[in-house]
Structure 1
Amino acid sequence: MKKLTSLLLTATLALSTLTACSSASAGSDPNTAAAPNAADNASITDNTAPTSDATPTTLDQIKANGYITFATEGTYAPYSYHDESDNLVGFDVEVAQAVAEKLGVEARFTETQWDGIIAGLDAQKYDAIANQVSITEERQEKYLFSTPYTYAYGAVVVNGDNTDINSFEDLNGKDVALTVTSNWAQVAESYGGTIVSTNGFSESIQLVIQGRADATVNDNVTFLDFKANQPDANVKIVAISDEATQSAILLRKDDAALQEAINTALAELQAEGKLTEISIKYFGEDITTNK
């Protein structure tokens, strides 16, 4: 019996040793399993490395499509409007076309009302906005701007018979006709004006002429263009801002490559005198540099 017990014990120990060696060889014990050598690591890295290209940028897509899409109002003379033949024309339109040409692509336009124009950019309905978008700190937190291509001075416009308003400060408590989301509305409100909502400058100035609003605020260039086309309109400028408002092409926050390409294009157009040429065509003076 003692001999049989000894034999069974010996067999059991041998089997246990064999099992332990087998487990260590299989690497089931992380403390005893051998790590792969450098060659194995290199092989694993090579086999799992991504092989696809990076996600195309908006600029890449523009180049591939052969066109860039700009949003603009189409009702904001002299920046963006329709001529007698119903062609979309204007200062912003021609600047956008010149930029597109520098990029080596065609400029296409999506016309939309101002109140929804930035939301459309967020929804990727177009690549950029060329519609006298003023550069503000609030917008810079969420979007990218090109370098400025327009410098305009704010003007308070009133009915020709109005004698109560002679300065920005006089807007306090007055009804000011403006698009509620425009930069000019913020200016008017900062002086205590009450905004009467409109769809754009044309409607705003008509309310002033009709006496349904006390004033409107816009850039002086837009008003001068209006007076050139309607010299008998009973409106006048009573105050001009000291500092210029800068406007630029608006882009989505992640489109830095497109911003750089557009900035390069604008710099070349400025150096060549093309921006000045477009400005003089529409305004009789150069509004593309800060005076």
Structure 2
Amino acid sequence: MVTSEKYRHVPTGTLARLAERLGKVFASPSTWYRLVRIHKWRRLQQRIYPAKPKVGIRATRTNEIWHVDTSFVRLVNGGRACIHAVIDNYSRRILAWRVLDRFEPGITARLFLDASQDTTVGTLWACDFFSKRAVTRRGLVDLYVLVFMHLETREVLATPSTRNPDSAWVTKQTKAFVNLVADREQKPTYLIHDRDKKFSTDFKRLLKNEGIQPKRLPIRSPNLNARVERFVQTIKYEALNHFIAFGQRYLDYLVSEFVSYYNKHRAHSSRENLPPCCAEPPPEFEVIKLNEIHCEEHLGGLIKSYERIAA
């Protein structure tokens, strides 16, 4: 029964119980396993379901391979919707999408054209808050920081911290952000934010006057702002959780130091392991001597980055 073609789809442990029911062999599963090991009986595995095809082509950088995905979603009223999307294989980023009430094969060509002509990715920003508890003369106080992120390059801009992040403070910091990126070649056209009440009407009016369209997220959808949420987790786990912030100025120093390291030195896999502010990769060398490597310490040596000394 162990090497029979008839029972090769049955696991060894289950095969022992089956033999007892058939009245052929009375032995425990451990005995069966021991005999298979001693006599080196080879049991060929039989696939009940067909094997999944293996994809031999793998993307090594962004925008190298795109694919089309079609999903059907059942609606509450009994109908269904068809979602067509063009996805980058490397970064898993959705480049273009359409929601239709039926399946249309001809939509694929239009989606590829939309993805290739899409220019909003380089002008898309997102923002969110994070907090850190600091020690002050008045005791423990929660300080809040507003973060702006360029979603294409992962560049981060952080505001000074505050104890009272009201709508007026958010509008003031947003004005400073707009002035900071006003001279760039790619100016922001969209700013993603959550449904916090601090993003008031004055905040939206300021953005619209500067040519920026505010995009409010749906209710309870942190995954739609996942890149900023991931940065908040990174700065807390890699930096802020290792320090006790004594006052607002000290927290601003910690945040500015980490943001500088994050933008200039920290590698990102979605950018081919380049930092956000690095447009082109550095030249490659086959042999690098140890005395040619410079170690730069950040946050008192908590984080270190290495680079080759210029000749």
Give 1 or 2 for the bigger CA radius of gyration: 1
- The normalised TM-score by structure 2 is 0.23
TM-score of the superposed pair, with normalisation by structure 1:
0.24
